[in-house]
Amino acid sequence: MRAVRVLIPALVLLAACSPSGHSQAQTPLPAPTRSVPTSALGMRQSFAPVVKKAAPAVVNISSKRMVRQQVDPFWELFGIGAPRDRIVGSLGSGVIVRSDGVIITNNHVIENGQEITVSLADRREFPAHVLLADARTDLAVLKIDVPGGKLPALAINDTGDLQVGDLVLAIGDPFGVGQTVTNGIVSALNRTADPSGSDASSYIQTDAAINPGNSGGPLVDMNGEIIGINSFILSRSGTSSGVGFAIPAALVKRVVETALGGGRSLVRAWLGARTQSVTPEIARSLGLATPQGALVADIWPGGPAAQAGLHQGDVVTSVDGKPLADASGLAYVISTHKIGDAIRLGVRRGKGERQAILRAEAPPASPARDERVVGGRNPLQGATVVNLSPAVADQYGLDPFAATGVMIVSAGQGLAGQAGLRPGDIVKAVNGRKVGSVAQLVAALQTGSQVWQLTIERDGQEITGEFQV
């Protein structure tokens, strides 16, 4: 059985309830003197000072949404039954990052939630509204309004001085049983979900136990500061096996700042180049001592990389003075910068080393988005389509160099959904006529044909099919 990536909110039904109990008052014991472990001998001491500082800012998040439950098709043949609505929900964790009620959590905890409730450590509950939700980073920023007084909040430590072996605590609300704390170390830094570089990810790996419901909770250092937000685990059983991943503080801080600035989604800076990780074979062919860095395979005309003087065949070896592991790590570091920042790149060209200054820019939205819902009697009826541009490609995690044409954002409830078309499909041709824009697609669909031939690109493969409508 192979390990799989597991997102970790605990799914619950609306009818779930919590048992209540009674306890007798006890004479409080004097608090012992405690300190954070500073040596192997110090491990006999306690993490209590860190927990005392961090735990009050950790919250439980409940998200509920309405779903349509379909009736068994067998009974529909006899006209018995009808689709029913039911409410499902998810439980996760979050952490207060500003005393006025700003909270960071995972996007998958609150995704599609129609009713979000935040439970504080003192068991008070408040409705929350979403300031920002970003599926690409799997982060969301919430806001609650608590009358009177300031809330406990944790600082975000994005100094970048985290090291493998550092002690960390994972705090959350796994299984909905109440707050729990687990300890461990940083097992690795700059872990990527996709070493090919198509995904801008760079995770902190930890062996601190992370279980269902820990999603969105903080990974804190021994100063009680946020160094990451727990996101997912690799596990064969679905429970913690000591391989957990957290989103680094640099990206967390960037998302929070964007939300506080009024942004509804994160605008990532882009390199304007297609890169690939340096493999051992590439390293040998280029005369590199180690297989590290990002090889520039293509340059977007007039993009940031072109303006910085990068060439095809260059190898980016460092960013802001720090060594670069792979192409995905390069995309991640670029995305943590604000638009307009100057980013210092170390570049190897041939046998020489040089420095390049790259100006952080948003991916261009050209051609214009031109989002429309397709009408008429055709296989795309009811689908929402947009023009592909670097900005749209970045939004949906596509390769801007490979993605051209018209993308289906939503199949809708019309003929497109019935025909099996999916969000992310790229329409390449209609009845043999190539389409490169929404306007061309709409024109091609106005022929009034009864038999349609569509060519779409799905997961990198072109598929051509015939439809009768």
* 59 and 203 housed in the same domain: yes
* 388 and 462 housed in the same domain: yes
Element counts in the chain: helices (H) and strands (E): 10, 28
Q: Which of 215, 231, 240, 389 is catalytic?
A: 215
- Cβ pair 104, 94 in contact under 8 A: yes
Which one has a higher pLDDT value, 418 or 95?
Answer: 95
* 4 and 74 housed in the same domain: yes
- Whole-number percent of the chain with pLDDT over 70: 81
pLDDT band at 253 (very low <50, low <70, confident <90, very high): very high
Which CATH number covers residue 383? Answer: 2.30.42.10
The CA radius of gyration of the chain, in Å to the nearest whole number, is 25
pLDDT band at 451 (very low <50, low <70, confident <90, very high): confident
Distance from C-alpha of 183 to C-alpha of 201, rounded to nearest angstrom:
24
> Dihedral of the CA atoms 257, 263, 266, 267 (nearest 10)?
-110
* 257 and 296 housed in the same domain: no
Q: Which of 265, 295, 324 is the last residue of a domain?
A: 265
Q: Which helix (H) or strand (E) holds 276?
A: strand 273-277
> Is 329 within the bounds of a domain?
yes
Per-residue pLDDT, 82: 54
> Is 41 within the bounds of a domain?
no
> Is 67 within the bounds of a domain?
yes
- Cβ pair 234, 4 in contact under 8 A: yes
**Count of CB atoms situated within 10 Å of the CB of 286:** 16
Tokens of residue 327, six digits: 């192409």
Specify which of 92-106, 318-332, 434-448 reaches the highest per-range mean pLDDT.
Answer: 92-106
Per-residue pLDDT, 78: 52
Per-residue pLDDT, 238: 63
Non-local CB neighbours of 231 within 8 Å, separated by 6+ positions: 7, 8, 106, 138, 203, 215, 245, 246, 247
> Is the pLDDT at 19 greater than 90, yes or no?
no
Distance from C-alpha of 42 to C-alpha of 35, rounded to nearest angstrom:
8
Per-residue model confidence as pLDDT tens digits over 198-242: 455 789 999 998 887 888 999 999 999 999 999 988 766 666 677
**Count of CB atoms situated within 10 Å of the CB of 71:** 12
**Count of CB atoms situated within 10 Å of the CB of 158:** 18
* 307 and 421 housed in the same domain: no
* Residue 274 burial class via C-beta count within 10 angstroms: exposed 0-12, middle 13-18, buried 19 and up: buried
Indicate the average pLDDT of the chain.
83
* 83 and 214 housed in the same domain: yes
* 54 and 181 housed in the same domain: yes
> Is 19 within the bounds of a domain?
no
Query: Whose CA is closest to 37, among 28, 50, 24?
Result: 50
> Is the pLDDT at 197 greater than 80, yes or no?
no
Which one has a higher pLDDT value, 450 or 352?
Answer: 352
Angle at 245 between CA 198 and CA 254, to 5 degrees: 65
> Is 241 within the bounds of a domain?
yes
> Is the pLDDT at 310 greater than 50, yes or no?
yes
DSSP letters, 65-131, are EEEEEPPPHHHHTTT----EEEEEEEEEEEEEEETTTEEEE-HHHHTT-SEEEEE-TTS-EEE-EEE
> Is the pLDDT at 8 greater than 50, yes or no?
yes
Instruction: Kindly report which listed range (5-14, 86-95, 337-346) carries the lowest average pLDDT score.
Output: 5-14
Q: Which of 108, 201, 235, 326 is catalytic?
A: 108
Per-residue pLDDT, 395: 83
* 325 and 378 housed in the same domain: no
* 132 and 255 housed in the same domain: yes
pLDDT band at 173 (very low <50, low <70, confident <90, very high): confident
Distance from C-alpha of 372 to C-alpha of 367, rounded to nearest angstrom:
14
Angle at 110 between CA 109 and CA 115, to 5 degrees: 135
> Is the pLDDT at 13 greater than 90, yes or no?
no
Per-residue pLDDT, 20: 41
Active-site annotation holds for 215? yes
Q: Which of 334, 359, 384 is the last residue of a domain?
A: 359
* 187 and 309 housed in the same domain: no
**Exposure class string for 377-410: b at 16+ Cβ within 10 A, else e:** ebbbbbbbbbbbbbbbbbbeebebeebbbbbbbe
> Is 25 within the bounds of a domain?
no
Q: Which of 63, 93, 138, 207 is catalytic?
A: 138
Count of structural domains within the chain: 3
Which CATH number covers residue 181? Answer: 2.40.10.120
Per-residue model confidence as pLDDT tens digits over 82-119: 555 555 556 889 999 999 999 999 999 998 878 899 99
Query: Whose CA is closest to 438, among 389, 377, 379?
Result: 389
Chain centroid offset of residue 205 CA: 16
Per-residue pLDDT, 22: 40
> Is the pLDDT at 18 greater than 50, yes or no?
no
* 296 and 389 housed in the same domain: no
Per-residue pLDDT, 339: 92
* Cα-based distances in Å from 364 to 400, 408, 437: 10, 20, 16
Which is it for the CA torsion 75, 78, 80, 81, positive or negative? positive
Distance from C-alpha of 184 to C-alpha of 168, rounded to nearest angstrom:
6
The pTM of this model reads 0.77
> Is 38 within the bounds of a domain?
no
Distance from C-alpha of 7 to C-alpha of 358, rounded to nearest angstrom:
35
Distance from C-alpha of 327 to C-alpha of 335, rounded to nearest angstrom:
13
Instruction: Kindly report which listed range (27-31, 156-160, 248-252) carries the lowest average pLDDT score.
Output: 27-31
Q: How far apart are the first and last CA of the chain?
A: 45
Q: Can you tell me the mean pLDDT for 29-44?
A: 59
> Is the pLDDT at 136 greater than 60, yes or no?
yes
Query: Whose CA is closest to 326, among 164, 186, 201?
Result: 201
Per-residue pLDDT, 236: 66
Q: Can you tell me the mean pLDDT for 376-396?
A: 91
Q: Can you tell me the mean pLDDT for 285-296?
A: 92
pLDDT band at 7 (very low <50, low <70, confident <90, very high): low
Q: Which of 265, 289, 304 is the last residue of a domain?
A: 265
Per-residue pLDDT, 14: 34
Q: Can you tell me the mean pLDDT for 455-459?
A: 89
Query: Whose CA is closest to 182, among 217, 137, 158, 227?
Result: 217
Q: Note down the domain range covering 386.
A: 372-468
* 317 and 410 housed in the same domain: no
Per-residue pLDDT, 301: 93
> Is 139 within the bounds of a domain?
yes
Q: Can you tell me the mean pLDDT for 41-48?
A: 71
